[in-house]
C-alpha cells in the first residue's frame, strides 16, 4: 500500500511540472506483484506494452529498480486502444447523451470518478486542490479493500482552462460522478455536460450563482453565509428555549456577524425569549447587570475574532469569580474552531456551542490514522487549514462512491440513503425546487463542562 501511494505521489508530481493545459490521468487497475511475476508477464496480462507499464510507474524508471513481491503497480489503459473504445460501458455511454437523467454504469460494477479541479503548484488554489485530490485517492484505496472498485480520471482545470476541450474527452463521458469545478464560470458548461450525459456533478467548494436550482445533476456542497446563518438561528432558538441571552457588542467595525445577531434578536422577540445587550468596554458592574441570576445565560458575541473572544473570556472569569452559581454558556462561530489550541479549556468551562458544517477532531482515532497514512504516503503533513482539504476529499469520495455502489442511479444523497460516517465533513442533501441537490448538513459542536465533546446534528 505504501509503495502504491508513493507512485500516486509521483503522478501528482508529474502533474505539477506539466503545462497548465488540461491533462488526463488514466489507469485501469492497481496490481499487487506476486512472487513469480515478471514485468513482461504483467504487461501481457493487461494487453499493454512494457514501455506503457514503466511510463505509468515512475519508480520503475530508476536504473536500479527490480520487481519485488508486494509492489503496487498502476496499470494504465493501452495508449494504442483507448479505454473508452472497446468496453460495453463506453458504447452504452455514447448512446446515453440524449438522456438527461440516466447514465450507464460500468459493466464490471466499478464506480468511475472524474476530478476537474486546478491540480497544479502555481498558487494556493492548486495546492489545496491537490490535497483534496489526494484525499479522494486515499478513499478509493480504502474502498478497494472493501470490495468496491473504482476508476479515476483527473484533469488539471485551472482558472483559464479550455473547459470545452476537457469535456470533449471521451473519458469524461464515462464518469458516474465528477468532483469540481472550483471556479464559478466553469460551473455552467461542465454542469450542462453532466446533465446531457446523466453524470452527477459534485461542487465541493464555494461558488457564486444558483446553477443548482436549474440543474438536477448538480450536488452543491457549499452553503451560502445566509443559509448558514439561518440554520444557526434555528438551532439556537431550538436549543436555548427558556434561557436568558446576553449579546456582547465587541466594537469590531470589520465584523459581519451583525447579520446573525440581528436575525437572532428578531427570532428571540418573536419567541418571547429574554435578552440584554452589553458592551465589551462596559465596567464590570455594568457588564454584570446584563446577566440573569435566576435563568441560565447564553452569551453571544457580534464578532468571530480571537482578540474580542479573549477579552470577553477575561470579563466572564471576573464575573463568575464574583458571582457564585452563575450559569453561563457560550454560543460562537465556526471561526472559533481555529482557536481550540488556545481556548479549549475555556470552551469546556463555559459550556460552549460552535455552529459549523464540519468538525475536525485531531484526537479521533480515525483522524489520527489517516493523517499518519497521508504523512507516510506523501512525505508531508496536511495543510494547517480548517477544514482539512485531504479529509474533505476523503469524506466526499467515500460518501458518493458508497452511495453509487449501493443505490446506482437511484442515489440522491439524502439522509435516508447515507451509508458513511464522516471523519470531518458530513453530507445531507435536499432538493432545491425542481433542480439539483444542496447539502443541508449542520451541527453544533458542544464542549461540555465534563470535558467531553459532542456533535449535535440538525
Tell me the pLDDT tens digit for each residue of 254-278.
999 999 999 999 999 999 999 999 9
Question: Which of these CATH numbers, 2.40.110.10, 3.90.79.10, 3.40.50.2300, 3.40.50.12780, describes 2-27+83-223+367-433?
Answer: 3.40.50.2300
Q: Which pLDDT band, with edges at 50, 70 and 90, does 329 fall under?
A: very high
Convert the pLDDT of each residue in 333-344 to its tens digit.
Answer: 999 999 999 999
Mean pLDDT is lowest, of 12-26, 404-418, 426-440, for 12-26
Strands 297-301 and 244-249: parallel
Domain 29-82 fold: Membrane-bound Lytic Murein Transglycosylase D; Chain A (3.10.350)
Q: Which pLDDT band, with edges at 50, 70 and 90, does 25 fall under?
A: low
Q: Which of 188, 244, 195 is nearest to 211 (CA)?
A: 188
Query: Given its phi and psi angles, is residue 293 left (phi above 0), alpha (psi -120 to 50 degrees) or beta?
Result: alpha
Which helix (DSSP H) or strand (DSSP E) does residue 375 occupy? helix 365-378
pTM of the model: 0.78
Averaged pLDDT for residues 67-85: 67
For residue 92, the 8-state DSSP code is: H
Q: Please tell me whether residue 297 adopts helix, strand or coil conformation.
A: strand
Place of cell 452569551: 299
SS3 content of the chain, % helix, strand, coil (to 5): 45, 15, 40
Under 8 Å between Cβ of 95 and 197:
no
Averaged pLDDT for residues 131-155: 95
Average pLDDT, rounded, for the chain: 87
> Would you kindly state where each structural domain of the chain is located, as residue ranges?
2-27+83-223+367-433, 29-82, 226-356
- Separation CA 325–CA 264 (nearest Å): 27
Say if 2-27+83-223+367-433 and 226-356 have the same CATH topology.
yes
* CATH code reported for the domain at 226-356: 3.40.50.2300
State the CB neighbour count (10 A cutoff) for residue 240: 20
Bridge partners for 25 per DSSP: 154
pLDDT at 1 exceeding the cut of 90: no
Q: DSSP string spanning 117-170?
A: E--SSSSHHHHHHHHHHHHHHHHHHHHHTTT--EEEEEEE--TT--HHHHHTSH
Q: Please tell me whether residue 259 adopts helix, strand or coil conformation.
A: helix
Bridge partners for 31 per DSSP: 73
Q: Please tell me whether residue 278 adopts helix, strand or coil conformation.
A: strand
Q: Which pLDDT band, with edges at 50, 70 and 90, does 21 fall under?
A: very low
Q: DSSP string spanning 160-224?
A: T--HHHHHTSHHHHH-SEEE--SSGGGHHHHHHHHHHHT-EEEE-S---S-GGGT-TTEEE----
Amino acid at each position: 500500500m505504501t509503495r502504491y501511494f508513493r507512485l500516486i505521489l509521483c503522478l501528482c508530481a508529474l502533474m505539477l511540472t506539466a503545462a497548465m493545459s488540461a491533462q488526463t490521468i488514466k489507469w485501469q487497475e492497481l496490481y499487487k506483484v506476486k512472487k513469480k511475476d515478471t514485468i513482461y508477464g504483467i504487461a501481457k496480462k493487461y494487453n499493454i506494452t512494457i514501455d506503457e507499464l514503466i511510463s505509468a510507474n515512475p519508480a520503475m524508471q530508476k536504473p536500479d529498480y527490480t520487481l519485488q513481491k508486494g509492489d503496487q503497480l498502476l496499470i494504465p489503459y493501452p495508449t494504442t486502444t483507448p479505454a473508452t473504445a472497446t468496453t460495453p460501458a463506453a458504447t452504452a455511454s455514447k448512446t446515453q447523451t440524449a438522456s438527461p437523467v440516466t447514465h450507464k454504469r460500468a459493466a464490471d460494477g466499478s464506480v468511475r470518478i472524474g476530478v476537474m479541479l486546478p491540480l497544479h503548484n502555481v498558487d494556493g488554489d492548486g495546492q489545496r486542490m491537490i490535497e483534496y485530490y489526494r484525499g479522494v485517492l486515499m478513499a478509493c484505496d480504502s474502498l478497494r479493500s472493501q470490495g468496491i472498485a473504482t476508476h479515476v480520471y483527473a484533469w488539471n482545470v485551472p482558472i483559464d482552462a479550455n473547459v470545452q476541450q476537457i469535456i470533449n474527452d471521451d473519458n469524461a463521458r464515462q464518469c458516474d460522478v465528477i468532483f469540481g469545478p472550483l471556479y464559478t464560470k466553469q460551473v455552467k458548461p461542465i454542469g450542462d455536460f453532466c446533465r446531457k450525459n446523466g453524470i452527477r456533478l459534485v461542487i465541493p467548494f464555494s461558488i457564486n450563482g444558483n446553477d443548482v436550482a436549474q440543474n438536477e445533476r448538480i450536488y452543491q456542497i457549499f452553503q451560502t453565509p445566509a443559509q448558514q446563518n439561518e440554520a444557526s438561528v434555528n438551532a439556537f432558538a431550538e436549543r436555548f428555549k427558556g434561557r436568558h441571552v446576553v449579546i456582547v457588542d465587541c466594537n469590531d467595525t470589520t465584523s459581519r456577524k451583525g447579520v446573525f445577531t440581528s436575525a437572532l434578536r428578531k427570532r428571540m422577540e418573536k419567541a418571547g425569549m429574554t435578552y440584554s445587550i452589553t458592551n465589551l468596554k462596559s465596567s464590570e458592574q455594568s457588564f454584570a447587570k446584563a446577566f440573569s441570576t435566576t435563568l441560565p445565560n447564553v452569551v453571544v458575541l457580534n464578532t468571530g475574532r480571537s482578540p474580542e473572544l479573549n477579552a470577553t473570556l477575561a470579563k466572564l472569569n471576573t464575573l463568575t469569580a464574583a458571582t457564585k452559581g452563575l450559569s453561563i454558556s457560550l454560543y460562537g462561530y465556526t471561526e472559533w474552531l481555529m482557536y481550540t489550541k488556545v481556548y479549549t479549556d475555556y470552551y469546556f468551562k463555559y459550556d460552549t456551542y460552535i455552529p459549523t458544517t464540519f468538525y475536525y477532531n485531531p484526537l479521533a482515532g480515525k483522524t489520527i490514522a489517516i493523517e499518519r497514512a497521508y504523512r507516510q504516503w506523501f512525505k508531508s503533513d496536511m495543510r494547517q487549514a480548517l477544514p482539512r482539504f485531504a479529509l474533505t476529499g476523503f469524506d466526499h469520495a467515500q460518501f458518493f462512491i458508497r452511495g453509487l455502489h449501493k443505490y446506482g442511479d437511484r442515489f440522491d444523497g439524502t439522509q435516508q440513503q447515507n451509508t458513511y460516517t464522516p471523519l470531518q465533513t458530513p453530507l445531507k442533501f435536499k432538493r432545491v425546487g425542481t433542480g439539483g441537490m444542496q447539502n443541508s448538513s449542520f451541527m453544533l459542536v458542544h464542549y461540555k463542562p465534563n470535558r467531553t465533546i459532542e456533535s449535535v446534528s440538525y
